[in-house]
Amino acid sequence: MPELPEVETTRRGLLPHVVGRRVRKMILRRPDLRLPIPPELPKLLRDQPILDISRRAKYLLMETGRGSALWHLGMSGSLRVLPAATPLRAHDHVDVELDSGHVLRFNDPRRFGLLLWQPLGTIHPLLQSLGPEPLSDDFDGVAFNGDHLFRLSRGRSAPVKTFLMDQSVVVGVGNIYAAEALFAAGIAPTREAGKVSLDRYRKLADAVRVILAHAIDRGGTTLRDFISPDGLPGYFEQELLVYGRGGEPCRVCGRRLREDRIGQRASVWCSHCQR
């Protein structure tokens, strides 16, 4: 599944091609993805200038004067800007035709993505219970840092990896980046969240910030399906230290990396470097 760096990479790639353009029309080739697509969406967007493409967690918001089209890439979705005459491929479900002669095209083979509507001045229910943004110093009055993680973790017996991936705690830290951040902070993913010290949570929050920012700079992580709007893959996968490397030697100490399932997700860590 595309994680926060992949979604942010998509957002940044779309901005120069989409913002300031006017929507000529929207073409829906199916009525639903993971959820039904609001049938009034083409009418709402027609002739509207696109004011911005923003991001909340793993959702992209195409903002107009009437409200925002809310996109989620799901497991395999991609948004690309293409010449309007570009032939359709299988699973090209949505086109947003722009006055530039290009289309914003949504392709989603598995149809786990979303296309919904957020009226102006409202917050969609899917966005209402989300935690702070990990790369923001202050989001709606809540700062993401070690003190925030420590405060919310008290009394929690769940593994710290599961806690870190809880979207009500902090958004956008999925399986890949949780594994990498815990390795960088030297924390075993199996340790109870409530038993991690404040100092270690401060190291973990710093690691989350550094790793996510670096992954964005590198264009995200290419795993199975993700490609950026320009059709190029991300390159952070080449730098992964633990994720997907179960049984291989740790690149720090040389010991064999452990692999197990934590919260139904594959997890890899070094039992020597992470405690």
The full set of domain ranges for the chain reads 4-127, 146-269
Residue 217 C-alpha from the chain's centroid: 14
Per-residue tokens: 197: 């010290």
Q: Point out the catalytic residue in the list 21, 58, 80, 161.
A: 58
Of the candidate ranges 19-28, 220-229, 232-241, 243-252, the one whose mean pLDDT is the lowest = 220-229
Q: Could you say which architecture CATH assigns to the domain 4-127?
A: Alpha-Beta Barrel (3.20)
The pLDDT value given to residue 58: 94
Q: Is 202 a catalytic residue?
A: no
Q: How do strand 265-269 and strand 258-262 relate by DSSP bridges?
A: antiparallel
Distance CA 218, CA 108 (A): 23
pLDDT band at residue 222, thresholds of 50, 70 and 90? very low
Q: Could you say which architecture CATH assigns to the domain 146-269?
A: Orthogonal Bundle (1.10)
- Choose among 46, 53, 38: nearest CA to 97: 46
Distance CA 269, CA 80 (A): 35
Q: CB under 8 Å to 230, separation ≥6 — which residues? A: 13, 80
Binding site for DNA: what residues are annotated?
A: 91, 110, 156
Q: What is the mean pLDDT of the chain?
A: 92
Is residue 81 within 8 A of residue 104, CB to CB? The reply is: yes
Q: Point out the catalytic residue in the list 2, 5, 134, 189.
A: 2
- C-alpha separations of 77 from 82, 175, 231, 250 in Å: 16, 18, 13, 33
What pLDDT digit, counting tens, does each position of 91-144 carry? 999 999 999 999 999 999 999 999 999 999 999 999 999 999 999 877 777 889
Q: Is 43 a catalytic residue?
A: no
Prediction pTM value = 0.88
- C-alpha separations of 176 from 90, 143, 161, 275 in Å: 28, 23, 11, 19
| Beta strand residue intervals within the chain, DSSP E | 23-28, 52-56, 59-63, 67-72, 78-83, 92-98, 102-107, 114-119, 258-262, 265-269
Helices (DSSP H) in 165-246: which residue ranges? 175-185, 198-217
What pLDDT digit, counting tens, does each position of 235-260 carry? 445 578 999 999 999 999 999 999 99
Q: Is 265 a catalytic residue?
A: yes
pLDDT band at residue 221, thresholds of 50, 70 and 90? low
Q: Point out the catalytic residue in the list 34, 209, 251, 265.
A: 265
